[in-house]
């Protein structure tokens, strides 16, 4: 069987991977699309297809393994394979883990009840998982905003000054850390298979407030430019599904929507600077924040 490696650098990995994992002979390694917080490669071997994911450090490997080991029993996420009895493997001074590859299917419409149910079950299962290593919040809003302010303190961008109040408000929230959360739960980390909805990439998982995950998923899944009644129905279905396993507090959801969107805005400024496209992104985000708050308030007033 001929081996095909799309990057010469990866050729030195083959023997190490074959020794560490019981996946048979590796046929090829090729890149997968990068997510918002991950870098992954597809490993095609004689025993199947796998995803090799780059990790920040060994701590992330331990956190993800413990969570996946628990969640995969409920068909919420794929398992992480042990590398010669270790939770991750070191290749060229960088840590990686390996998971079975899942073929995804396209869906024209999101089943919000199913989505809420899956996230609710995920949170319930993770609450009962002890001894999970504490990971830092890489995108802490207070730290990122301070960095942005120092970098652009001499700039006279009016729109940047207008962010001061909503960012300060978001920083002021003191939410109870009531469980382990995914912390990057956008639709980019949700895939649909023939057997249902699956959640992937727990690389940012940490202790936090569960409403933060709900805010992230609603922001990235609901069509906020559509008819308002459609948005209300989507949100209602999601919450009904979630409440099979947990509670949703309207005030905490609103605050976490605010927090999630302001984090995104500040991270984009930190990453790309005060460009025109950054300004446009920030304007769209603030408009979306207004729409999201209106929908949540309308839904809960009607309950």
pLDDT in tens, 201-215: 999 999 999 999 999
Does 189 share its domain with 69? Answer: no
Burial 17-50 (b: 16+ CB within 10 A, else e): beebbebeebbebeeeeebebbbbbebbbeeeeb
> Residue 88: CB partners within 8 Å, gap ≥ 6?
55, 58, 61, 62, 65, 95, 96, 97
**pLDDT, tens digit, for every residue of 49-69?**
999 999 999 999 999 999 999
Average pLDDT over residues 188-198: 92
pLDDT tens digits for 250-266? Answer: 999 999 999 999 999 99
The answer to whether residues 189 and 285 belong to one domain is yes
Please give the span between the terminal C-alpha atoms of the chain, in angstroms, as a whole number: 62
Same domain, 135 and 73: no
pTM metric for this prediction: 0.91
> For the CA atoms of the chain, what is the radius of gyration?
21
pLDDT tens-digit profile of 83-92?
Answer: 988 999 999 9
105 belongs to a structural domain: no
| Domain boundary, last residue among 70, 100, 130 | 100
Last residue of a domain, one of 67, 100, 133: 100
**Same domain for 184 and 73:** no
* CA 217/CA 74 separation, integer angstroms: 20
Domain range enclosing 205: 112-301
Residue 303 has pLDDT above 90, yes or no: no
Q: How many domains does the chain have?
A: 2
Q: Are 191 and 47 within one domain?
A: no
Write out the two tokens for 263: 């984090």
Closest CA to 200 of 302, 296, 106, 68: 68
Residue 106 lies in a domain: no
Task: Report in angstroms the alpha-carbon separations of 288 from 183, 223, 260, 283.
Answer: 20, 10, 12, 9
Where residue 83 sits, what CATH number does that domain have?
3.30.200.20
At 33 the pLDDT is 67
Residue 141: count of CB within 10 angstroms of its CB: 21
One domain for residues 170 and 278: yes
Residue ending a domain, among 60, 76, 100, is 100
Structure confidence at residue 1 (pLDDT) = 44
d(C-alpha 186, C-alpha 118), whole Å: 14
């Amino acid at each position: 069987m001929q081996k095909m490696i799309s990057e010469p650098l990866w050729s030195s990995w083959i023997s190490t991977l074959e020794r560490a994992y019981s996946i048979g002979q590796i046929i090829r390694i090729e890149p997968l699309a990068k997510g918002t917080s991950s870098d992954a490669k597809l490993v095609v071997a004689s025993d199947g297809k796998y995803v090799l994911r780059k990790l920040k450090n060994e701590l992330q490997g331990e956190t993800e393994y413990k969570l996946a080991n628990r969640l995969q029993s409920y068909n919420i996420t794929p398992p992480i394979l042990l590398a010669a009895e270790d939770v991750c493997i070191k290749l060229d001074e960088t840590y990686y883990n390996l998971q079975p590859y899942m073929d995804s299917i396209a869906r024209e419409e999101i089943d919000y009840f199913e989505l809420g149910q899956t996230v609710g079950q995920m949170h319930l299962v993770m609450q009962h998982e002890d001894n999970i290593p504490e990971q830092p919040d890489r995108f802490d809003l207070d730290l990122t905003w301070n960095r942005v302010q120092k970098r652009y303190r001499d700039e006279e961008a009016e729109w940047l000054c207008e962010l001061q109040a909503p960012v300060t408000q978001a920083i002021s929230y003191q939410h109870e850390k009531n469980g382990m959360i995914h912390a990057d739960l956008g639709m980019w980390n949700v895939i649909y298979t023939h057997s249902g909805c699956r959640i992937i990439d727990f690389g940012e998982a940490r202790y936090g407030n569960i409403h933060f995950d709900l805010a992230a998923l609603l922001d990235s899944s609901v069509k906020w430019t559509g008819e308002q009644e459609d948005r209300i129905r989507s949100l209602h279905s999601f919450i009904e599904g979630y409440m099979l396993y947990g509670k949703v507090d309207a005030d905490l959801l609103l605050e976490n929507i605010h927090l999630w969107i302001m984090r995104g805005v500040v991270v984009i400024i930190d990453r790309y600077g005060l460009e025109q496209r950054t300004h446009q992104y920030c304007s769209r985000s603030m408009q979306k924040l207004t729409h999201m708050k209106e929908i949540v308030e309308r839904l809960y007033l009607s309950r």
